[in-house]
Amino acid sequence: MCERLAAHPVYMVDWPVVQDPRAVEIIGDAVRRGTAEVGVQLHPWVNPPFDEELSVYNSFPGNLPPALEEAKFTALRDAIEGAFGCAPLIYRAGRYGLGRHTAAMLKQAGIRIDTSVRPLFDYSPLGGPDYSDHPIMPYWVDADRSLLELPLTSTFCGPLRPLGSVIHRAQRHVPTVFSGFSRFRLLERIALTPEGVSSEEALRGIDIALGKGLPLLVMSLHSPTLVPGHTPYARDAAAVERVYEWFAAIYADLAARGVRSTTVAEIVAATGR
C-alpha cells in the first residue's frame, strides 16, 4: 500500500436499497461493468429482525446485543450477495456505530475491510463511539491482520492543528470560540465530503493528509444528496450541480498529483493477506 490512492466508487448498501428493484438494477449494472463495487451498511432501525427498542442509542448498530447485531448484519449481507451476485468485502456501520463485538462479527463473515471509523469526530454525547483520537492512517484491527480499518479521511488544518483534539473537545462548552478558529483558518476540521465542506477546504485537507504520508484517501457522500431536496446539502438542482463540481475539482487536483482511483479488491490484494 505504498501508492497514494483515491477511493474507487463503492456503494454502501443498506436494507431499503437492496429491497428496491430499481436501485439493484442501477447499482448492479455498474458492478457488472466493473465501474463500482458494493459494501454493507447497517442501519438498524430499517433492517430486520426488529427486536430492539427504537432509540437514538440503538441507532448505532454496535450498541445492540451481539446476537441481534449479527442477525441484522447477516440478513443484509445475504440479501446483498443475492441481489448483486458477489460477496461484499467492505463494511460501514450506520452512523459510524462500531461496537465491542463488531470486529469479530465481520471477521467471521469474511469482511476484509471496515470503514466505519471517522477520526476527529465524537458521537459519545448520543451514545455512539468517540473517534476523537483515532488515527487517520489505515491500520489492522486484529493481531492476525485479517481485518483492515480504512478510516474516512478527516484532518485538522491550520496553525493550531497540533491542539486540535483538545480544542475541539472544549468547543462543546464554547462553540462560538471554535467557529472563530475555523473562520480565521486557525483550526479547521476537514472531512473529505462535499456535504458541508467546500472544495477549497477539501483541497487543504488533502494537502495535510498527503503531507502526512496517508497512502489512501477515503471520501464519502450520501446518495440522496444527488437528488434535489432530499438533504440539506442539495436543496435544489443548482446545489446538486455544485456537488458534481466539487468532485470534478477534487479529482482534477488528485490527477495532477498522480493520485489514482483503486478498488476494494486491489486494496485487499495490496495488503498481501
- Per domain, the residue ranges of the chain are 5-153+192-271
Structure confidence at residue 147 (pLDDT): 98
C-alpha span between 139 and 1 (Å, rounded): 11
Q: Which of 203, 149, 192 is nearest to 1 (CA)?
A: 149
List the CATH code of the domain at 5-153+192-271.
3.20.20.370
C-alpha span between 193 and 218 (Å, rounded): 9
pLDDT in tens, 108-129: 999 999 999 999 999 999 999 9
**Cell numbers 463495487 correspond to what residue?**
37
Q: Sign of dihedral through CA atoms 186, 124, 71, 113?
A: positive
What predicted TM-score, i.e. pTM, was given to this entire model?
0.90
Residue percentage of the chain with pLDDT more than 70: 88
pLDDT in tens, 170-206: 666 566 556 666 665 678 899 999 999 999 999 999 9
Cell readout for 28 is 448492479
The band of 5, judged by pLDDT with boundaries at 50, 70 and 90, is: very low
Say whether pLDDT at 7 is over 80. no
Distance, C-alpha 210 to centroid of its chain: 18
pLDDT in tens, 59-94: 999 999 999 999 999 999 999 999 999 999 999 999
C-alpha span between 128 and 175 (Å, rounded): 20
